[in-house]
Structure 1
Amino acid sequence: MTVENIESFSREQVFGILNRINFPLVDPNVLPEPTLENLRELQYRCVTSIPFETLSLRTTKARSVDISLEGIYDRIVNNRRGGWCFSLNRLGFELLRAIGYTVQFTLGRICDPTSDPMNYTGLTHRTTIVRFEDGSKYVFEMGFGCTFYYPIELKDGATIEYFGFKNRLVKAVHNKSEPHLLGNPAQELWMVEANQGEDKWVPGFVFSEQQFFDIDCELGNYYSCFSPKAPLHSAFWIMQGTLDGTYYQLMGKEMKIRTSSGTQERITFEREQDRLDALEKYFGIVLTKDELKYHDQKIE
């Protein structure tokens, strides 16, 4: 029998991540305790320090996202960049595991609520479930664009509120589910929804509590990088929350700065230099000479 080697971050790297997200350590040489309070602080710090971005697809020769631990650490910590779910949520998963949390990652599907009936992608989203000794479970999520600031309890109807925003979890079944074919019960999914005022809730993604493995993430990441049908295949996106609850969203030629009351400012870039200036001003990112060389979506 062969046993796969389990990759993990070194202790030094774990502290490197904590410093990268500006986590308020009580002692610089002691890891935080694996408590719910610290879980909340960890997610808050992650989503306000590390951007969700697709620049690896647009500004590198490889046109791909490296989701090896070495590649993730180098990009996010050493180079102070970001990533997408397969890299960001892997970093979060390994960080939590090193601290002492009981964690499992799972894969999910992105929802397209504009279609009727609603369309779902393949298994192109990775997320993390954390379990505590009392049996309670929470979703730790830092890789879904402008995601929620705090973990949400894995319970039907559970709601999280922050800075005027609301997200909730509800139970769902894939609308193309045919459990009767083999006589099995329908697979129950968890759906993450965002509130858009009054009682309007918009689906973001669905996932199950099924266990997946690293190879499944590699397949989903490969598809997301190279399939023209993948949602982010041609995207120039970068998003990040701030400590006070403001979201910065740069998508293509447009920049939005928004709060819970709606879009506060909208900027349209007419020149590439204007967009590069915004990358530096709002996200602290300056493209290297090589990145500019391989940049395939310059504004003419």
Structure 2
Amino acid sequence: MGPQQPTYTDAQVEAYLSRIAYTPTAKVEDVRQRAQSDALSTLSELQRRHLAAVPWGNSGLHYSQHHTISLHPDSLYEKIVERRLDGYCMESTGIFFIVLRSLGYQVYATGGRVSYAAATEVDNGLYMAMGHMVLIVTIDGAKYMVDVGFGNNCATAPLPFQEGATATCIAPSEMRLIKDSLVECSDTTQKLWIYQTRNNPDSPWVPNFCFSEVEFLPQDFGVMNFSVSQKPTSFFVQNFVCVRMILDPTGREIIGQCIMSGKEVKQRIKGQTEVLQVLQTEEDRVKALAKYFDMHLRNSEVEGIRGLTSQIK
């Protein structure tokens, strides 16, 4: 028998459910019962609510005194639930992973490679090193890919392992999984799952990341997290970004996203983009994080960005 996998207490899960506005007074046992009777629908709602409530971002690398990211379950809980801050893939998906396990889901995590097409918009068929976390949830014998940590192109619902099955991402954009070999691999018989999106039904499919069905362990993500968060050339080290999904009034559909990147805050609703604010100073950005993302930074955290390349000067 191996070491016990981390879970959260019922009180912690209820605080998380409140954080994502799952229901006004959600009780853990009620959600567990829903997960048993209608696992896929409950999983879909949890994913949707999480994406709309927990911003995808890397504030810990820029607005902090330590400029590091911890994947410890208690650190994730304190940052995302208690402080109501953001998290990048291994943080946001990491806490979602533990919550799903705490609710009784059959779930494990694997690692993914982000494509250069997603990072640079140039589709050369190449992928970067392992740097993304993906969850695989099994429901009634069927496997689903679940992701809450891929920014503006994140899957907005569980995707079944059915090659080529197309689903709406954020209308009019679509998403799907295909299975293919990578151009750099010498053994072309080895196929990986590739998550693709397209802006609309007439647009070409763009690969975002690839992954296998091999389970990764916490120590694997520790190595990945160190590289992504500490390598000087890492996008997350050089840039500060923040993305939050937008729900329709009924809470049943993700209709857009709010994006902070560079000196702009933009809102994209059903394919139409509007600039909400141009940021002139660091004070502008800190206030915008509070206004658009409900992220309230401490003075010491705000001071942490001084001197970094990501500081607005």
TM-score by length of 2: 0.88
Distance in 1 between the 2:2 and 2:142 partners?
A: 30
- Give 5+ residue unaligned stretches, structure 1: 180-184
Aligned to 2:158: 151
The code of the aligned residue for 2:196 comes to E
Distance in 2 between the 1:116 and 1:30 partners?
A: 46
Deviations 1:250-299 (A, max 9, x none): 01212221122231336432222222221111001122111112113332
* Alignment of 1:128 onto 2:135: yes
Distance in 2 between the 1:41 and 1:251 partners?
A: 27
Range with bigger deviation, 48-57 or 248-257: 248-257
The code of the aligned residue for 2:193 comes to W
The code of the aligned residue for 2:20 comes to I
Flag as ranges the 4+ runs of structure 1 deviating above 6 A. Answer: none
The code of the aligned residue for 2:52 comes to T
> Is contact 1:240–1:247 with CA below 8 Å preserved after alignment?
yes
Deviation at 1:25, TM superposition (A): 7.0
* Alignment of 1:30 onto 2:29: yes
Alignment RMSD (CA, Å): 1.8
Q: State how 1:224-263 maps to structure 2 within 5 Å.
A: 224-244=228-248, 245-263=255-273
Deviation at 1:220, TM superposition (A): 0.2
Range with bigger deviation, 6-15 or 204-213: 6-15
**SS at 1:95's partner residue?**
helix
> Is contact 1:25–1:31 with CA below 8 Å preserved after alignment?
no
**CA, structure 1 residues 186+62, in 2 after alignment: closer, same or farther (shift >3 Å)?**
farther
- Taking only the aligned residue pairs, the percentage that are identical comes to 27
Aligned to 2:7: 8
Q: State how 1:1-300 maps to structure 2 within 5 Å.
A: 3-24=2-23, 28=27, 30-32=29-31, 33-34=34-35, 35-113=39-117, 114-115=121-122, 117-133=124-140, 135-146=141-152, 147-161=154-168, 162-179=170-187, 186-197=189-200, 198-244=202-248, 245-265=255-275, 267-295=277-305, 296=308, 297-300=310-313
Distance in 1 between the 2:129 and 2:57 partners?
A: 20
**SS at 1:232's partner residue?**
helix
**CA, structure 1 residues 259+271, in 2 after alignment: closer, same or farther (shift >3 Å)?**
same
The code of the aligned residue for 1:170 comes to I
- Give 5+ residue unaligned stretches, structure 2: 249-254
**SS at 1:63's partner residue?**
coil
Deviations 1:73-92 (A, max 9, x none): 00000000120111111111
> Is contact 2:56–2:243 with CA below 8 Å preserved after alignment?
yes
Deviations 1:92-145 (A, max 9, x none): 111111111111110000011244633311110001011112x21111110111
Deviation at 1:5, TM superposition (A): 4.1
Deviation at 1:236, TM superposition (A): 0.6
Distance in 1 between the 2:203 and 2:262 partners?
A: 30
> Is contact 2:116–2:124 with CA below 8 Å preserved after alignment?
no
Deviation at 1:194, TM superposition (A): 1.4
Deviation at 1:207, TM superposition (A): 0.7
The code of the aligned residue for 1:69 comes to P
**CA, structure 1 residues 5+99, in 2 after alignment: closer, same or farther (shift >3 Å)?**
closer
**SS at 1:240's partner residue?**
strand
Distance in 2 between the 1:209 and 1:29 partners?
A: 29
TM-score by length of 1: 0.92
More helix by share: 2
> Is contact 1:64–1:226 with CA below 8 Å preserved after alignment?
yes
